[in-house]
Amino acid sequence: MFDLTTLVGIHTWLSLIAIGAGAVVMMGLISGRALPAWTAFFLLTATATSATGFALPFERVLPSHIVGGFAFVALAVALLAQYRFRLAGAWRWLYAVAAIASVYLLVLVGVAQAFLKIPGLNALGPSATAVAQLVVLAVFVAVGVVAVRTARHGAAPAAYA
C-alpha cells in the first residue's frame, strides 16, 4: 500500500522542482525569451504539485486547498494561453501573469511551510512570517510587471509566433 509519508515526499519534491523550473521560466519571461522545454516542464510539475496536494487526506478545507484552487485556475489560464492560443495577442501577457502567479503560489506555500516546520523560523513568530510573505509578494509583483511589459511591448520570440 502507498504510504502517506511517500505522498508528502513526492508532493514536496514536485513543489521544489516546480519552483526551480518556474524560476527559469520567469527569467525567460522577463528577458523575452521563449523556453518551450522549460515551460512544459514547469507546467507539468506545477500541475502535478497541485494534484498531489489535493490527494493528501484532509477533514476540512484548509488555506492550502484554497491556494491550490487558485493555482489550478492560474495553471489552466497558462496552459490555454500557451498551447491552445499559442500566446497570440493578449494571451501572451495573460500567460505571463498566470505563470508568475503559479510560481508565486508555490513559493507562498513553501514559505508558509518553512515557517511552520523549521524550528528556527517558527521561533521568529507570525510577524516574521508576514514580513517574509510581503517581501515575496513584492518581488513577484515586480517580476510580474516587468514580464507583462516585456510581453506587451516587446517583439514575440520566434517560438511564440
pLDDT given for residue 58 in this prediction? 86
C-alpha cell read off for 49: 504539485
- Which pLDDT band, with edges at 50, 70 and 90, does 3 fall under? confident
Residue 75: predicted pLDDT? 98
- What percentage of the chain carries pLDDT values higher than 90? 83
What digits encode the pLDDT tens for the residues 5-34? 899 999 999 999 999 999 999 999 999 998
Q: Does the pTM exceed 0.75? A: yes
Q: What pLDDT, on the 0 to 100 scale, is given for residue 155? A: 54
For residue 57, the model assigns a pLDDT of: 86
Angstrom distance (rounded) from CA 136 to CA 157: 28
CA 4 – CA 160 distance, rounded (Å): 41
Residue 118: predicted pLDDT? 95
Identify the residue with better confidence: 104 or 156.
Answer: 104
pLDDT for the residue 161: 44
Long-range CB pairs of 127-136 (<8 Å, 24+ gap) are: 133/108, 136/104, 136/107, 136/108, 136/111
* Nearest C-alpha neighbor of 25 from the set 37, 14, 11: 37
Residue 15, all three cell numbers: 513543489
* pLDDT band per the 50, 70, 90 thresholds, residue 149: very high
Residue 90 and residue 148 in contact, taking contact as beta carbons nearer than 8 Å: no
Confidence check: pLDDT of 107 > 70: yes
pLDDT digits (tens, 9 = 90+) for 30-63: 999 989 999 999 999 999 999 999 988 888 998 8
The rounded distance, in Å, linking the Cα atoms of 95 and 150 is 12
Distance in angstroms (rounded) separating the CA atoms of residues 15 and 102: 11
Contacts of 161 (CB under 8 A, 6+ apart): none
Q: List the Cα angle 111/56/51 in 5-degree steps.
A: 80
